[in-house]
Amino acid sequence: MAEQEPSPHITIADVAKRAGVSIATVSRVINQTAPVAAETAARVRAAIGELNYRPSAAAKGLASRKTNLVGLLTTEISAPFFTPILRGMEASAREAGFGLLIYCTQDEPSPAPGFHRPMGPHNTDGLVVFAGSLEETELTHLHEIDFPVVLLHQAPPNSLNIPYITFENKAGARKLIDHLIEEHGYQRIAFLRGPENHEDSYWREMGYREALQAHEIPFDPTLVATGGFNQEKAQIPVEKWLRRGVQFDAIFAGDDEAAIGAITALQRAGKRVPEDVAVVGFDDVHLAHYLMPPLTTVQAPVEQAGREAVRQLVRLIRTGRADELVLLPTELVIRRSCGCN
């Protein structure tokens, strides 16, 4: 006599019953995986609509071995630099019919081993890994089991053939420094490095050195310090230079954040930017346009990087192949902090 509790969720069986077909047919019209008579399909669709049915992702995933999810592993989600990337990734995933799962590692790059991995084959179809958010051993493991991964702003370790996306950092820096030398005649150009082992930073330095060399300006190690892509950290070396009376015409700050720090330090010491010292950055963060003076920098197609990362990842998931390397072009953005206008 026990009443049958109605299932809290509508399942494919409910739809099938209502449409007077088998669950296989329902599955077919939903996934368009085999021909179904037009009239039958219409009945099924009607039933789906009337019942407000939506297939369970879990059941679907279990049966098909696909989650239809891509994961993003990153160190920090709200950095001004990262925001457009995320937007691009989300849009790209949505357009490809994938959901986007995000996880921040907050500095410590995925410390949890094995059992605690937040993302992987168990809950996603593939991963976009942002620079520094996953240890090499984990990356290697994922590669070994053939799990789709795309790297953002970081080359794969041990020359594993994992696709990666990054900017033309070197070319961008080169254009920037060329401008400083050729248009403004600056000779003593200081450089604020990014964090240790940061690839973007490395290539920007290469561009810097190449530009100096091309103009026969000797590389001066005393004009190079670490700004860490960070406002506060960048102020310190600038203050030190100022205190020591080091002479320079311009500062290439490594990125826009560091440029803000450099400008702050300079202005605090009573220097005018760009009259006394020019400052240039890299990234063309939203803020760059609003600074006083507006920042001359290098624009990178940040949103497109996010889009491209997911696009390649989806290709990898679907076809098993993707471009080994996507190098996005950078462009000089001349505003006033370099001395122009």
Task: Give the footprint of DNA on this chain (CB under 7 A).
Answer: 7, 9-13, 20-25, 27-28, 30-31, 33-37, 39-41, 53, 55-56, 59-60, 62-65
In whole angstroms, how close is the CB of 147 to DNA at the nearest point? 15
Q: Are residues 123 and 67 in contact, defined by beta-carbon separation less than 8 angstroms?
A: yes
Q: How far is CA 38 from the centre of its chain?
A: 44
Residue 191, SS3? strand
Side chain identity at 305, as an amino acid letter?
A
Q: How far is CA 207 from the centre of its chain?
A: 22
Binding site for a second copy (CB under 8 A): 8-9, 48-49, 52-62, 67, 69, 77-78, 80, 83-84, 86-87, 90-91, 94, 99-104, 106, 113-115, 117-123, 141, 145, 260, 286-287, 290-292
In whole angstroms, how close is the CB of 27 to DNA at the nearest point? 3
Out of DNA, a second copy, none, what residue 141 binds, judged by CB under 5 to 8 A for its kind, is a second copy
For DNA, which is the closer residue by CB, 4 or 161? 4
In whole angstroms, how close is the CB of 104 to DNA at the nearest point? 25
Out of DNA, a second copy, none, what residue 171 binds, judged by CB under 5 to 8 A for its kind, is none
Report d(CA 263, CA 238) in Å as an integer.
9
Return the sign of the alpha-carbon dihedral for residues 111, 114, 115, 117.
Answer: positive
Out of DNA, a second copy, none, what residue 231 binds, judged by CB under 5 to 8 A for its kind, is none
Q: Are residues 118 and 133 in contact, defined by beta-carbon separation less than 8 angstroms?
A: no
In whole angstroms, how close is the CB of 223 to a second copy at the nearest point? 27
In whole angstroms, how close is the CB of 2 to DNA at the nearest point? 12
Residue from 124, 159, 167 nearest 143 by CA? 159
For DNA, which is the closer residue by CB, 41 or 253? 41
Q: How far is CA 185 from the centre of its chain?
A: 35
In whole angstroms, how close is the CB of 183 to a second copy at the nearest point? 25
Q: Give CA torsion, residues 151, 161, 197, 192, to 10 deg.
A: -70
Report d(CA 314, CA 64) in Å as an integer.
17
Out of a second copy, DNA, none, what residue 245 binds, judged by CB under 5 to 8 A for its kind, is none
Report d(CA 307, CA 278) in Å as an integer.
34
Out of DNA, a second copy, none, what residue 120 binds, judged by CB under 5 to 8 A for its kind, is a second copy
Residue 104, SS3? strand
In whole angstroms, how close is the CB of 247 to a second copy at the nearest point? 28
Question: Which distant-in-sequence residues (6+ apart) come within 8 Å of 128 by Cβ?
Answer: 70, 71, 72, 73, 89, 149, 150, 151, 152, 309, 310, 313
Out of DNA, a second copy, none, what residue 12 binds, judged by CB under 5 to 8 A for its kind, is DNA
Out of DNA, a second copy, none, what residue 40 binds, judged by CB under 5 to 8 A for its kind, is DNA
